[in-house]
Amino acid sequence: MKTKYAIVFICIVALVIIEKESNILSRVSDKLIQRQIPQQTPQTPLDYNNTTHNGSLAMLKMLLSKLTGTTGNYSSLSEEEEEEELDGLSTYSYSAGRKHILLLASTRTGSSFVGEFFNQQGENMFYLFEPLWHVERMLTTASEANNGTVLAGIYRDVLQALFLCDFSPLEKFISPPPEDHITPALFRRESSISLCEEPVCSPVIKEVFERYHCKTRRCGPLNLTLASEYCLSKQHHAIKTVRVRLLDTLQPLVEDPRLDVRVIQLVRDPRAILASRMVAFSSKYQTWKTWAQDGQVPEDDEEVKRLKGNCDNIRVSAEVGLSRPRWLRRRYMLVRYEDIARFPMQKAEEMYRFTGIPFSPQAKEWILRNTQTTQEARGIYSTQKNSSEQAEKWRYNIPFTLAQVVQKVCGPTMKLFGYRFVDDEKTLTNKSISLLEEKLFH
Ligand SMILES: *[C@@H]1O[C@H](CO)[C@@H](O)[C@H](O)[C@H]1NC(C)=O
Ligand SMILES: *[C@@H]1O[C@H](CO)[C@@H](O)[C@H](O)[C@H]1NC(C)=O
Ligand SMILES: *[C@@H]1O[C@H](CO)[C@@H](O)[C@H](O)[C@H]1NC(C)=O
Ligand SMILES: *[C@@H]1O[C@H](CO)[C@@H](O)[C@H](O)[C@H]1NC(C)=O
Ligand SMILES: *[C@@H]1O[C@H](CO)[C@@H](O)[C@H](O)[C@H]1NC(C)=O
Ligand SMILES: *[C@@H]1O[C@H](CO)[C@@H](O)[C@H](O)[C@H]1NC(C)=O
Ligand SMILES: *[C@@H]1O[C@H](CO)[C@@H](O)[C@H](O)[C@H]1NC(C)=O
Ligand SMILES: CC(=O)N[C@H]1CO[C@H](CO)[C@@H](O)[C@@H]1O
């Protein structure tokens, strides 16, 4: 009998303690949540019937997880762990809401392809392909705005508005200017599924609009108000851009409490990028071709400096991301093009896991269809072999002299990402020597 009372008593004491702790933690979490998620109403899966949207469920889970520990000694958590716990808590509460994926890349890194991983997600996704194209085109021709700092701020603000489905800052940069928010001139509209389906695509009767075709259907000029409404109806938003130079210019965007941003930085061997650009932008890269023929590269030339500048920006951005500053904690992922080429499905899965968005069957199917170069039933294996062979083609295209220059000016960048240097042409073109170190980025 005595022990029974004792147990009851202990239970009551325990309950009182839990209540107290709960209040304290509640206040902490309220604060966190107020900072990180005002206004937005969480949807699944936290949106249980009886859950007040103030994180009390998450609180309960956290308490439970702590109480299952043997000590129950809250102060035994190291500061770091505690931080993680609280971060995890707010992330957990928030993961119920929208996700905003920013795919950061540079040209010729396979970013259109990787962008499709998200474009093809399905009905929960609103995807935009290079909206900053308009900003760059208008501003880099206007000399007074041709200032990296100013430009970066404008890019950030336009991205921020777009993530919130507000097209008006972008409108200012579309040329000719939209009338009544209607434009036929949005860059690569057809690369965004959302802008090419009902209701954003208004069917066209007159042939006049033939040039506004989307891939699968004819659409009239784009009604940006409609696009904005449609955007708001979608749970997740993704934007691909090759125009942001430095990751840390995005800090205010990532910290915007209305957003839940996930940054994926896509990188590629700079030697391969140069080789690919020389083919794709042939006339712009004429000087490089001449240098290759001459066998000499003037290293103080503007072109070489630009290459170095690009490599440095990519490296500095990755260093910021990989150093896990507080504002980017759990919001940054580095992906190498070469890994995607070798293991497209696995990498896509990892990216989706990172974003917290379900990897939809549609997206999987698209990847399967688009990484298989032959119809052979050998599936995954031949896919890997083929696309990784594709990814190595540059080794036979780039003149060794140019590869050497890239190694010289982009050395630290290559080292960081695990791209091996070559000392002679034989190694460059020897298939059995891999130029890729196996490397994980955390
Ligand atoms: C919660 O709500 C859903 C639908 O609104 C209902 O089907 C379910 O029975 C409810 N669950 C509880 C525990 O009340
Ligand atoms: C909890 O859910 C039940 C069943 O869905 C409902 O009858 C009840 O009113 C809810 N309580 C609160 C506080 O929302
Ligand atoms: C949080 O939820 C608890 C339990 O439902 C409630 O008592 C408390 O008032 C709520 N706090 C706020 C700030 O809404
Ligand atoms: C709780 O943990 C701290 C830090 O590890 C330790 O100094 C302290 O003695 C512990 N208190 C109890 C009651 O275990
Ligand atoms: C760019 O603009 C910023 C802010 O207006 C200014 O501080 C900086 O000096 C400018 N840089 C150049 C190179 O003009
Ligand atoms: C554009 O879409 C908005 C919102 O649906 C609508 O109110 C407006 O009339 C449309 N504009 C035109 C010219 O159709
Ligand atoms: C390529 O490299 C492998 C491994 O180092 C070597 O055995 C082979 O002889 C090389 N092939 C040629 C053609 O140099
Ligand atoms: C370019 C290339 O190597 N293609 C290969 C893709 O895979 C099939 C079957 O595995 C090969 O027959 C192709 O040669």
Cα 382 to averaged position of ligand 8 atoms, centre (Å): 7
235 lines ligand 8 (CB under 6 A): no
Give CA–CA dist 387/342, Å, rounded: 6
Quick one: pLDDT at residue 303?
A: 92
Cα 21 to averaged position of ligand 1 atoms, centre (Å): 29
Cα 23 to averaged position of ligand 3 atoms, centre (Å): 10
Quick one: pLDDT at residue 66?
A: 40
17 lines ligand 6 (CB under 6 A): no
User: Where does ligand 3 bind, in terms of residues with CB under 6 Å?
Assistant: 30, 52, 54, 56
List C-alpha distances in Å: 241 to 106, 174, 208, 232, 430.
Answer: 8, 16, 31, 21, 34
Query: Smallest Cα–Cα separation from 40: which of 257, 229, 355, 357?
Result: 257
Quick one: pLDDT at residue 267?
A: 97
Domain ranges of the chain: 2-90, 106-124+256-442
149 lines ligand 5 (CB under 6 A): yes
What pairs with residue 223 in β-bridges? 182
**Cβ distance 409 to 299 under 8 Å?**
yes
Cis peptide before 176 (omega within 30 of 0): yes
Ligand 2: which of 47, 48, 50, 57 to mutate, judged by most atoms within 8 Å of the beta carbon?
50
223 lines ligand 6 (CB under 6 A): yes
Cα 423 to averaged position of ligand 7 atoms, centre (Å): 14
- Residue nearest ligand 8's atom 13 by CA: 386
220 lines ligand 6 (CB under 6 A): no
Cα 314 to averaged position of ligand 5 atoms, centre (Å): 21
Give CA–CA dist 192/196, Å, rounded: 7
Which atom from ligand 5 is nearest to the alpha carbon of 147?
Answer: 1
378 lines ligand 7 (CB under 6 A): no
| Series of mean pLDDT values for 10-residue runs along the chain (442 residues) | 60 52 46 39 37 40 40 39 42 62 95 95 95 92 72 96 97 95 93 92 62 71 95 96 97 94 97 93 91 90 95 98 96 96 94 96 92 50 59 91 96 98 96 94 82
What b/e readout covers 321-330, taking b as 16+ CB neighbours within 10 angstroms? beeeeeebee
Which atom from ligand 8 is nearest to the alpha carbon of 386?
Answer: 6
Cα 155 to averaged position of ligand 6 atoms, centre (Å): 27
Cα 432 to averaged position of ligand 7 atoms, centre (Å): 7
**Class of 106-124+256-442 in CATH:** alpha beta
